[in-house]
Structure 1
Amino acid sequence: MTDVLAEAVVNGAGREELESLPVPKEFTALHTRIEDVDLFRGERDKDVRRSLRLGAVPMPELAPDEVLIAVMASGINYNTVWSATFEPVPTYAFLRQLGKQGGWQARHDQPYHVMGSDAAGVIVRTGSGVRRWDVGDHVVVTTAYVDDQDPLTHQDGMLGSDQRAWGFETNFGGLAHYTVVRANQLLPKPEALTWEEAAANPLCAGTAYRMLVGDRGARIKQGDVVLIWGAAGGLGAYASQFVRNGGGIAVGVVSSEEKAAQARSLGCHAVINRQEIGLAGSEPADPSVVGKSLGRLIRKAVGEDPNVVFEHVGRATFGVSVFVARRGGTVVTCGSSTGYQHEFDNRYLWMRLKKVIGSHGANLQEQSETNRLISQGAIKTALSVTYPMEEAAEAARLVQQNGHIGKVGVLGLAPKPGLGVTDQALRERIGELNIAPLRR
C-alpha cells in the first residue's frame, strides 16, 4: 500500500512539496494482534511467521514533541521475536501500562502492536514543539523512549523511571512505512550509508558502545582481553570492533566456522567455536566443565583470562561468564536471549572480587558518539542481508532460529537496496568493503 506522500519521499521531493501533501489515514505495518496472544500456548516451535501480520493500520495523531517519519528501511532485533512469540510477557501489557498515563500516551494502547526498534527515513511532519528537525531531514532513530521532564533522565536517559524501548514497549515502531518517534530519539543519517545500512546500526551499535566504551559500562582500556559471546551476531559484531578500535584483545565465541570467519573479519583476535567447549542449546552450562574448557582455550589463544565478558546470551552462558572472568574482572550484560533465570556459583563472584554490570540500550549522547564513529567509517555496519517488507516475517524467523549473521535489514518504502547515499565521495573514501563487510 502506497500513497502520494510516500511516492514523493521515494522520488526525493523537497520540504515544500512534502508539507503540501496529505498524510494518509492508514499505512502498511508489520504487527501482531491481541487476539493471537494465546496462539502458541502449549507449542514448542513458536513460529513467528504465524503471528506476524503485514497490513494496514490507522495513522496515529502526532504529539507536539514528535515527528512522523517515512521509513525507508528498518531491521530485525531479537525483541521482534519476543513481541511475536508473546514472551516473556505479551507486549500488550506494556502498551496498556503506557496508555494508562492518558493524554498522548493513550494512543499506544491498541489491539494491534506495530513493532520494530530500528529505522532510517525522512521526516514528513513535525509536532509544534519540535525545534531542531525539519520536514525533509534524513534521520536514524535511536531506541530509548524517554520522558525529558523526569529529573533522572537528565542525569542519564536510561535511568528515567519511564524509559522504554521504542517499538517494543511502545507502539508505532519502525517495521512499517511510517513511524512516530519523539524528537529526542533522532540523529542525522550517516551520509555515506544506504538506507538499510543506516537502519541496521542504532540499537545494537549503541548498546554495545554503552556496555564497553561508555562511562556507565565496563570502560575497556588498551590491552584488555574481552570475551564476546555471539561475536558474529548483531551485538557481537559491533562489540568486536569497539574492542579492537580501543586497543583491546577481542576473543569471540560463535556457533559455526562461517561465523568464525566473519568474527575475525570484524576484529576478533581469536575465535572459539561453541562446539569446542560442548556448549549447545539454552540449558545452563556447567562452569566446572564448559568454563574450564573455555578458559583453557582463551589462555591458549591470548595468554590471559578475560578482563571483561560481553554477555547477552543469558541462561545458557551466564554461569560460565562469571566463572571465566579473571579475578577482579567484569561481566557486563544487556539481555538474556536463552532465558532470564541465571544460575552461577557466587563464590567465583564474591571471593574473586568480580562484578556484574547491568546495561540497557544507550542514552542519546552515547548514541550520538556511536553515530559519529559510523559516519566516519571507523565502525562498520553489521548488516548482512536485506529483505523486502513483504518478507519481513521470514526475516524475523531467520533471527528466531539464529540462522543469521550480523544484522538483518528490512526495506520500508525504499524500492530496492542501495539507495539513500548523499555523500558518494565519502563512501568511496571509506570503501564498499569497509562499510558493510558482512553483506552477502
Structure 2
Amino acid sequence: MTQLGEIQQAILNDDLGAVASLDVPETYRGVTVHKDEADMFQGLESRDKDPRKSLHVDDVPTPELGPGEALVAVMASAINYNTVWTSIFEPVSTFKFLERYGRLSPLSKRHDLPYHVVGSDLSGVVLRTGAGVHNWKPGDEVVAHCLNVELEGPDGHNDTMLDTEQRIWGFETNFGGLAEIALVKANQLMPKPDHLTWEEAASPGLVNSTAYRQLVSRNGADMKQGDVVLIWGASGGLGSYATQYALNGGAIPVCVVSSPEKAEICRKLGAELIIDRNAEDYRFWKDEHNQDPKEWQRFGKKIRELTGGEDPDIVFEHPGRETFGASVYAARKGGTIVTCASTSGFMHQYDNRYLWMNLKRIIGSHFANYRESWEANRLISKGLIHPTLSKTYSLEDTGQAALDVHRNAHQGKVGVLALAPEEGLGVRNHELRAKHIDGINAFRNV
C-alpha cells in the first residue's frame, strides 16, 4: 500500500491517532494549470474557454513545511469562481500572483513554480504542523478558509483582510485544496462540522465566509432585522448563503434567479419574494455601451410590488457589470450596495445621481477575516446555516466541474472528492444530521 493509501485507510478506519506516525509522501496528485499554457485560449471569448483543456491532474512534490503552517490530507474540496478564472487565465494569469509572492521571502519562493495547484476549499485531516503551531495536531479533522496573510506590518492587525500581504490561498498562492494534500497556514484551520460528510463540509468555506462578511459583519452591510435585502443569484454559491443569512437574521430577502428551478430552491430555503429575471425579460443594457434606465425602473417597480412598496435596504451584489447600474438605482435612499465580485465584468457603470443625491453607499467586500470565517463555520457546525452542495465530482473530473460553474450549469456549490473514495463518509454526529437533513439536502438532485 502506498503512503497516501495508508493515510487514507487510517482516516477511513477512524484511526486518526495513527496519522502522526505515518510517513508523509514525497508526491501527491493535484489539480494544476501549467505556466507554459497560459496563452492557450488567446483570441477566444471567455465563454468559449474550456477548463477541461487547461486543468490537469498531476503528480507534484509535497512542499516543504514552514513555521506556522500545516499539511492537510484532503478528503474533499469544491469549485469556486476563482478556480474558473484560474483555469481560463482571466483576468490575468495566476502565475503573476505566484511570481509576486515568490519575491517576498525565501519561504514564499516555494510558491513560484511552473505549475499551480489550485483550489480554495478543503475538508480533511491534519498530517503535520510546523514550528510554532499549538492549536492543531496531526489527526485533527478540519476545514480551511482561504485567507493567507503574513501580518508582519501594522495594517492587518485591526482587520486581517487589510494586511498588505493578504492573499487568497489556492488562487494567489500555490498548493491549494483541489489535491490529495494541501499546504495551509495554521490560522486558516477550523473544526470540521461533525454532522456533515467530507464533501458537504468542504463546500461552504469560501462562499459562506464571503457572504457572512458581505452581509452580516460590521465590515460589510451590517444587516439588521427587518432589512429588505435584494440578492442577485440567490440560488447560487454565494447567493444561497446570503439568502440563509437574511432569513436567519430576521431580514426580508428578495431573491433574483434565472429559472423556475432556481426559484424553487429559494422557496425550499424559506424565501417568499422571488424574481425570475429571465421570465421578466429584464434587459438592463440596450447595447454594449448603453444601459436602459427604463428597465431599472421596471425592475424597481417589481421589487416594490413584492415588498409592499419598500425598496431594498441592502443590495447583495456580485454579478458586476451586467447588474450594477440596476443595483445602484434599486437601493433605497440611504441604502447600501455591497459588492464582492464581478462575474459578468469588472468595469461597472451606474448613474451617480442616484448614488449621491440619495445618500447611498457602495461597500467593497472581499472574502473574510479569520474571526468572520470562524463565526460562519460555527453557524454551519450548529446547523443554523447549511451547505448548498448540489453535485460532486472526482478529482479527475475537476475540469468538467469547473466547466459547469463557468457556464452557470450548476446550483449552489459543486464538490470534488480527493482522498474520500465515495460520497457520504465522515459523519460523526448522526443525531444532529438527522435533525437538519432536509436543509443539508436542499440543493441535491435539482
TM-score bracket, shorter-length normalisation: over 0.9
Show the counterpart of 1:388.
Answer: 394
Shift of 1:103: 1.7
Match of residue 268, structure 1, among 249, 267, 271: 271
After superposition, give the CA deviation of every residue in 1:266-322 in whole Å (9 maximum; x if it has no partner).
Answer: 232211111214248996782513211111111111121111100000010111110
Show the counterpart of 2:144.
Answer: 141
For 1:175-194, what aligned pairs fall within 5 Å after superposition? 175-194=178-197
Query: Take 2:290 and 2:196, find their aligned partners in 1: how far apart are those partners?
Result: 40
| Aligned residue identity for 1:103 | P
Secondary structure at the aligned position of 2:255 is classed as strand
Task: Quickly say closer, same or farther: Cα 1:278–1:24, change in 2 above 3 A.
Answer: same
Larger deviation: 256-265 or 15-24?
A: 15-24
Matched, 1:433 2:434: no
Query: Take 2:354 and 2:60, find their aligned partners in 1: how far apart are those partners?
Result: 51
Match of residue 354, structure 1, among 343, 354, 360: 360
Query: Take 1:260 and 1:251, find their aligned partners in 2: how far apart are those partners?
Result: 11
For 1:147-226, what aligned pairs fall within 5 Å after superposition? 147-226=150-229
Shift of 1:146: 1.0
Kept in 2, the 8 Å contact 1:287–1:323? The answer is no
CA RMSD of aligned residues (A): 1.6
Shift of 1:11: 3.0
Matched, 1:278 2:290: no
After superposition, give the CA deviation of every residue in 1:184-222 in whole Å (9 maximum; x if it has no partner).
Answer: 001000011111111011110111010111111111111
Query: Take 2:283 and 2:183, find their aligned partners in 1: how far apart are those partners?
Result: 41
Query: Take 1:217 and 1:256, find their aligned partners in 2: how far apart are those partners?
Result: 29
Match of residue 341, structure 2, among 293, 317, 335: 335
Kept in 2, the 8 Å contact 1:228–1:239? The answer is yes
| Aligned residue identity for 1:312 | H
Shift of 1:424: 1.3
Match of residue 405, structure 1, among 408, 411, 422: 411
Query: Take 1:347 and 1:280, find their aligned partners in 2: how far apart are those partners?
Result: 17
What's the TM-score once normalised by structure 1's chain length? 0.97
Show the counterpart of 2:79.
Answer: 76
Matched, 1:92 2:95: yes
Show the counterpart of 1:363.
Answer: 369
Match of residue 292, structure 1, among 294, 297, 301: 297
Show the counterpart of 1:43.
Answer: 44
Query: Take 1:376 and 1:277, find their aligned partners in 2: how far apart are those partners?
Result: 40
| Aligned residue identity for 2:277 | R
Shift of 1:104: 1.0
Kept in 2, the 8 Å contact 1:8–1:18? The answer is no
Query: Take 1:290 and 1:9, find their aligned partners in 2: how far apart are those partners?
Result: 58
After superposition, give the CA deviation of every residue in 1:120-167 in whole Å (9 maximum; x if it has no partner).
Answer: 000011112111001000000001111133322221110101110110
| Aligned residue identity for 2:143 | V
Kept in 1, the 8 Å contact 2:102–2:112? The answer is yes
Larger deviation: 89-98 or 11-20?
A: 11-20
Matched, 1:21 2:22: yes
Kept in 2, the 8 Å contact 1:279–1:285? The answer is no
After superposition, give the CA deviation of every residue in 1:154-183 in whole Å (9 maximum; x if it has no partner).
Answer: 211101011101100000000000000000
Matched, 1:326 2:332: yes
Residue identity over aligned pairs, in percent, reads 51
Show the counterpart of 2:259.
Answer: 256
| Number of residue pairs the alignment of both structures matches | 439
Show the counterpart of 2:56.
Answer: 53
Query: Take 1:338 and 1:256, find their aligned partners in 2: how far apart are those partners?
Result: 18
| Aligned residue identity for 1:424 | H
Query: Take 2:425 and 2:28, find their aligned partners in 1: how far apart are those partners?
Result: 22
Query: Take 1:402 and 1:259, find their aligned partners in 2: how far apart are those partners?
Result: 12
Kept in 2, the 8 Å contact 1:115–1:175? The answer is yes
What's the TM-score once normalised by structure 2's chain length? 0.95
Query: Take 2:335 and 2:297, find their aligned partners in 1: how far apart are those partners?
Result: 16
| Aligned residue identity for 1:295 | G
Query: Take 2:33 and 2:106, find their aligned partners in 1: how far apart are those partners?
Result: 24
Structure 1 spans left out of the alignment, 5+ residues: none
Query: Take 2:198 and 2:289, find their aligned partners in 1: how far apart are those partners?
Result: 39
After superposition, give the CA deviation of every residue in 1:81-138 in whole Å (9 maximum; x if it has no partner).
Answer: 1000100000000000000012210000000001100100000111121110010000
After superposition, give the CA deviation of every residue in 1:225-284 in whole Å (9 maximum; x if it has no partner).
Answer: 110000010000000010111111100111111011112212322111112142489967
Secondary structure at the aligned position of 1:378 is classed as coil
Shift of 1:16: 4.7
Task: Quickly say closer, same or farther: Cα 1:13–1:382, change in 2 above 3 A.
Answer: closer
After superposition, give the CA deviation of every residue in 1:377-417 in whole Å (9 maximum; x if it has no partner).
Answer: 11111111111112111000000000000000001100101
After superposition, give the CA deviation of every residue in 1:16-66 in whole Å (9 maximum; x if it has no partner).
Answer: 522222211111011100011000001121111110101211111100111
Larger deviation: 14-23 or 201-210?
A: 14-23
Task: Quickly say closer, same or farther: Cα 1:285–1:198, change in 2 above 3 A.
Answer: farther
Shift of 1:6: 3.3
Kept in 2, the 8 Å contact 1:6–1:413? The answer is no
